Amino acid sequence: MSTSSVSKGCFVFKPSAKKRKPSPTVEDYFTHGSENMENSRLRFRTCQSLWEKMKTDTELLQEELNRKVLDSLLEFIRKSSSSFQRGTDDWRSRMRAHEIPTAALVLGVNVPDHDMTFQSLSEQLQLSVSPFVVSLQAKECAALKNLIQKVLERLMGAGVWVNDEDQCEPEQGSTSVNLKRVHCSLKTLHDWYKTVTEKTYTSTPGEKRTSIGINVQQHPPIVVIFKDLEVFSPKVLQDFIIICSRYIEQLPLIFVFGIATAPSVIQHTLPHSVSSLLGIELFQSLSCTQHLATVIDQVILTSEFPFKLSGKVLQVLVSIFLYHDFSVRNFIKGLQLALLEHFHSQPLSVLCCRKQEALGHISKLSHQDVERIQQLPSFMRYVEQQGPQDQVELLTNDDHVKEVCVKLLIDLHKYHKNYYPILRCLHVLTSSLPKYPLGKQIRELHISCLEKNVWDNEEYASAMTLLRMMAKEELVSLLQKCSVILKPGKTKKMRAVLLRLDDLITRFTKSLLEMKESRRTKKMSQFEILRDEVLEFFDSLVRCHLAPPESQPLYEVCYYSSSAVLRRHLNATPRTSIQTALSNPYHYLKNESLRTEDGTFSSAAPDICIVYKLHLECGRLINLYDWLEAYATVVSAAEGKDPESADYGKVDELKHARFIQAVSELEFLGFIKSTKQKTDHVSRLTWGGC
């Protein structure tokens, strides 16, 4: 490289854009290291499209679930702002103290999910009520000054934008841009609000209306959203409310408090003198457990998505939700991870897509893929059940295998189409029983069906016994519910089941009339016979359709079952990892010289591992000098010195330094700390030995 400079110096040459390597795409990461590029690209695309579908579905679902609370919130804001417009004509509103309308929005402790709710809230507000919406987070409002500054910045930024669109009076717009720090007061906001509303609604009528929205009133309210009320410093909040209340007669301010715990937190943070400035109304969102139930119902318990989770994996995801975070967003992230892992690690997942596509993919399978199919446990089980002639064909003839696979895949899809309606019916029947023998939630029933034959469970037997004692009205109403579930029957079998069920229901209603006559007899009444028949029928349905997926050939194509991988990724245990690294360095370093038998320890391990190992043998207090000597002995052995020689195990400067470094690393990791109890000793912070 050369420069035109005459003087000597350092020059920076930035690489030109062309020369730079294109940064790898997601697809490159996905296909990296796979033998069959074509196959893994296909998998990647299937995975992506499936995920897109799942994502939009769950987003729609969440929007739907939030709709009710958001609608009432919007209604509240509209009403409050229109009461501001009405002004102070009548006696009552003149006499009343002017409170700041405040919506206390209780969202539950699943804080990660709140972002989405606030996002859609402020979008809808901007769309239909007012362009002036500010969201605040506690971490950016440490002091009153920052809070006011943030409010002004976000609002008047919007105001500047309005001016730009109008393309009129640019000089006015520029005054509001030159926001001097000194001007950060609500008075500035008030002046700005006056100019904006006047300009927008008097000078340029026709055009302006359309850009903000038709149903925006003359004085659109200023909505301030406090996303996490608990975290705000009470002092800042109180001062801000006091200031705002001084302007409430001129500025239509409305607050929204996002509350994670309970609304009583308002009374804890604000004294009466401040809370009396607010007119608080409560809005409660759906609980996160209900939310999860709906997501599972729509995304997991459906034959729409070919990708399935095994019982264990679902259990891991659900237990992270219930035990740790209550976050639906994290649940969906976990689902995404499982999806990605499945398509990445299972080459046969090319077949995990819609039926028609999958059938197309079968014909393109390579010889290697066919071998993989032949090695699948479920396929091997299937082969064993065939006649000897067939077995040979299935193990040698690729084309025959492909033909059989087509049939098996169709069967698998059918299995899913029958499985979910029957699962729902069984849940309807058992979820109203006392003590919920098969679980209160449908996901529990689903998990137990996935794990083994549900009819072998003791709980299933007891549920059946309870059902056999059910009164007529209850049973009929349950059967009617089942019939509703089966209505959109997708397969022949389901339609047949529905016919049979409807027939049974009509017979029940008839037997109602006959029952009165045969009440006194000891013999089984008509009703009892019928009841047994119905339950027999359901039992046969369960046995036929709710067999665990392992029984289906090729189930590995659709089911992701590595629960350990998922748990390791989602529920990391840093401490266990550190201990593994220190006691078994081979686990991470993969250096053959470190490989050891169980229980033994290579003296060639890194210094910190040796020091760690030695410290495990000590008590609560460790003598540093003894420790150093022991370390020197181990290291000398690693150097291959003769045990008989004079300087074997002798401490030289290098060893000393290495030892000190290792010890301070241990201290940094929190295994030891210095102590004043004894000179030249350190104390251990963990318990237990090797």
User: E strands within 78-179?
Assistant: 100-106, 133-136
Cβ distance 557 to 413 under 8 Å? Answer: no
Out of 6, 97, 469, 646, the only residue in the binding site for other proteins (CB under 8 A) is 97
Query: What track of x and - describes contact with other proteins for positions 586 through 605 (by CB under 8 A)?
Result: --------------------
CA distance 619 to 570: 35
Least separation in angstroms between CB 188 and other proteins: 10
Residues within window 450-509 making contact with other proteins, judged by CB under 8 A: none
How near is the Cβ of 102 to other proteins at its closest, in Å? 8
Considering the complex, what minimum distance in angstroms separates the CB of residue 243 from other proteins? Answer: 5
Q: Which is nearer to other proteins, 101 or 173 (CB)?
A: 101
**x-or-dash pattern for other proteins, window 3-32, by CB under 8 A?**
------------------------------
Residue (227 or 416) nearer to other proteins, CB: 227
> Tokens 């003198």 label which residue?
273
State the nearest-atom distance from the C-beta of 19 to other proteins, in Å.
Answer: 41
List residues bridging with 257 in a β-sheet: 104, 226
Q: Which stretch binds other proteins (CB under 8 A): 59-67, 499-507, 571-579, 632-640?
A: 571-579
Q: Which two tokens stand for residue 207?
A: 């055009």
Per DSSP bridges, beta strands 681-684 and 672-674 are antiparallel
CB of 456 vs other proteins, minimal distance in Å: 26
Q: Considering the rule CB under 8 A, would residue 340 count as an interface residue with other proteins?
A: no
Looking at the DSSP bridge assignments, the partners of residue 222 are: 253
Say whether residue 180 binds other proteins (CB under 8 A): yes
Q: Which of 122, 213, 219, 279 binds other proteins (CB under 8 A)?
A: 279
| Contact with other proteins (CB under 8 A) among 60, 142, 231, 410 | 231
Among 324, 381, 492, 587, which residue sits at the site for other proteins (rule: CB under 8 A)? Answer: 324
What x-and-dash track marks residues 612-641 binding other proteins by CB under 8 A? Answer: ------------------------------
Which residue in 246, 364, 407, 656 binds other proteins (CB under 8 A)? Answer: 246
Distance CA 289, CA 108 (A): 10
List the one residue from 77, 156, 320, 332 that touches other proteins (CB under 8 A): 320
Helix or strand or coil: residue 644? coil
Q: Which stretch binds other proteins (CB under 8 A): 2-10, 274-282, 412-420, 471-479?
A: 274-282
- Applying CB under 8 A, among 4, 19, 323, 458 the residue interacting with other proteins is 323
Does position 687 interact with other proteins (CB under 8 A)? The reply is no
Count of residues binding other proteins (CB under 8 A)?
Answer: 69
Site for other proteins contains 439 (CB under 8 A): no
Interface residue with other proteins among 26, 60, 142, 143 (CB under 8 A) is 143
The Cα–Cα gap between 648 and 655 comes to: 12
Contact pick of 26, 282, 395, 529 for other proteins (by CB under 8 A): 282
Q: Quick one: which segment of 23-31, 107-115, 354-362, 547-555 binds other proteins (CB under 8 A)? A: 107-115
- Residue 690 interacts with other proteins (CB under 8 A): yes or no: no
Dihedral angle at the C-alpha atoms of 169, 171, 175, 177, nearest 10 degrees?
A: 80
Q: Which is nearer to other proteins, 260 or 476 (CB)?
A: 260
- In angstroms, the CA 259 to CA 126 distance is 22
Rank residues 213 and 279 by Cβ distance to other proteins and give the closer one.
Answer: 279
Nearer Cβ to other proteins, position 111 or 494?
A: 111
Position 325 contacts other proteins (CB under 8 A): yes
- Indicate whether 230 belongs to the interface with other proteins (CB under 8 A): yes
Contact call for residue 261 and other proteins (CB under 8 A): yes
Residue 228 interacts with other proteins (CB under 8 A)?
yes
| Interface pick for other proteins out of 36, 122, 195, 284 (rule CB under 8 A) | 284
Q: Does position 177 bind other proteins by CB under 8 A?
A: no
DSSP 8-state symbol, 181: G
184 is an interface residue for other proteins by CB under 8 A: yes
Nearest distance, CB of residue 409 and other proteins, angstroms: 38
Site string for other proteins, 364-383 (x = CB under 8 A): --------------------
* DSSP assignment of 343-407: HHH-GGGGG-S-HHHHHHHHHT--HHHHHHHHH-HHHHHHHHTS-HHHHHHHHH-HHHHHHHHHH
Half-sphere exposure at residue 436, Cβ-oriented, CA atoms within 13 angstroms: 9
Cα separation, 507 vs 530, in Å, equals: 8
The sign of the torsion formed by the CA atoms of 149, 150, 152, 153 equals positive
Q: How far is CA 313 from CA 50, 287, 319, 342, 416, in A?
A: 19, 24, 10, 12, 18
Q: Map the footprint of other proteins across residues 400-429, applying CB under 8 A.
A: none
Nearest-angstrom CA–CA distance, 197 and 157: 15
Q: Are strands 308-309 and 672-674 parallel, antiparallel or unpaired?
A: unpaired
**CB burial of residue 460 (10 Å; 0-12, 13-18, 19+):** buried
Tokens representing 467? 């059902």
User: At a CB cut-off of 8 Å and minimum separation 6, what does 118 contact?
Assistant: 135, 225, 227, 258
Which residue matches tokens 């003598």? 623
Establish if 551 lies at the interface with other proteins (CB under 8 A): no
How far is 585 from 577, CA to CA, in rounded Å? 11
Report helix angle 458-467 to 526-545, nearest 10. 150
Which of 261, 368 has the CB closer to other proteins? 261
Choose which of 42, 105, 111, 296 interacts with other proteins (CB under 8 A): 111
549 C-beta neighbours (distance < 10 Å), count = 21
Q: Does 573 bind other proteins (CB under 8 A)?
A: yes
**Size of the chain in residues:** 690
Q: Tell me if 148 contacts other proteins by CB under 8 A.
A: yes
CB of 341 to other proteins, least distance (A): 19
The DSSP letter of residue 139 is G
One-letter amino acid of 197: T
Residue 86 backbone dihedrals phi, psi, to 5 degrees: -60, -25
Residue 246 to residue 277: CA distance in whole angstroms: 10
Please identify, among the stretches 126-134, 227-235, 380-388, 426-434, the one whose residues bind other proteins according to the rule CB under 8 A: 227-235
Report which of 360, 310, 333 is spatially closest to residue 42, judged by C-alpha positions: 360
The yes or no reply on residue 250 touching other proteins (CB under 8 A) is: no
The yes or no reply on residue 669 touching other proteins (CB under 8 A) is no
State how far the Cα of 351 lies from the Cα of 81, in Å rounded to an integer. 56
Q: How far is CA 81 from CA 4, 77, 219, 253, 636, in A?
A: 67, 6, 8, 8, 82
Q: What is the sign, positive or negative, of the torsion defined by CA atoms of 523, 527, 530, 532?
A: negative
Stretch that binds other proteins, among 42-50, 168-176, 226-234, 408-416 (CB under 8 A): 226-234
Distance CA 189, CA 673 (A): 55
Establish if 576 lies at the interface with other proteins (CB under 8 A): yes
Which residues here bind other proteins, judged by CB under 8 A? Answer: 79-80, 83, 91-92, 95-97, 99, 101-102, 104, 106, 108-109, 111, 143-145, 148, 180-182, 184-187, 228, 230-231, 239, 242-243, 246, 260-268, 272-273, 275-276, 278-282, 284, 287-289, 320-326, 571-576
